[in-house]
Structure 1
Amino acid sequence: MSACSTVDPCLCPLCGQANRCAMEASPGQATEPCWCTREQFTAALLQQIPAAAKGKACICQACVQKAAQTT
């Protein structure tokens, strides 16, 4: 199996850094909402996610903020 065929849900699919998604780090546990629930994800940003990672890995906060600065 190729390393590229496996998506790590804890890594940003755009930059490869830790996405620090609280929902992925502790699935099913009642914790404080993740930072991502307070962010705006533009359609243009979401379109950059590779098809293999869609619905499987969260974009990191740095990539979300970088996209917000360029729009």
Structure 2
Amino acid sequence: MSVCSTVDPCLCPLCGQANRCAMEAPAHEQAQAACWCTREQFSAALLRQIPDAAKGKACICQTCVQKAAQAT
């Protein structure tokens, strides 16, 4: 399986679904308000799952954050 060289900041790097990050949405789609992710806790274990190519470039989606929280 090849790794895509371009990271889409609007897709979750773990599951590939839309991450709904308000900070990455184009300004014409919605106001640049604080994103849901600013109110979430991201465990170190969850953050280690992000592929190196996507670190600092794409947000994890809320579904993946919630699944990780339930697993602990």
Q: TM-score, normalised by structure 2?
A: 0.87
Structure (1 or 2) with the greater helix fraction: 1
Task: Name structure 2 gaps, 5 residues minimum.
Answer: none
Cα displacement (A) at 1:67:
0.2
- Is 1:15 the equivalent of 2:15? yes
Change (3 A) 1:3 1:70: closer
Q: 1:12 is matched by which residue type in structure 2?
A: C
Over 6 Å off, 4+ runs = none
- Name the count of aligned residue pairs: 68
Structure-2 residue corresponding to 1:4: 4
Answer yes or no: is the 8 Å Cα contact 2:23–2:33 preserved in 1.
no
SS across alignment from 1:23: coil
Provide structure 1 residue ranges, at least 5 long, that are not aligned to the other structure: none
Q: Compute the displacement of 1:3 (Å).
A: 7.3
Shift in Å, 1:59 = 0.2
For 1:26-45, list aligned pairs within 5 A: 26=26, 31-45=32-46
Amino acid at match of 1:63: C
Q: Cα RMSD between the aligned structures?
A: 1.7
Deviation, structure 1 residue 31: 3.0
Please give the alpha-carbon distance, in whole angstroms, between the structure 2 residues aligned to 1:5 and 1:23. Answer: 22
Q: Quick one: percent identity of the two aligned structures?
A: 84
Query: Deviation string for 1:9-32 (max 9, x for gaps)?
Result: 0000000000000001147xx732
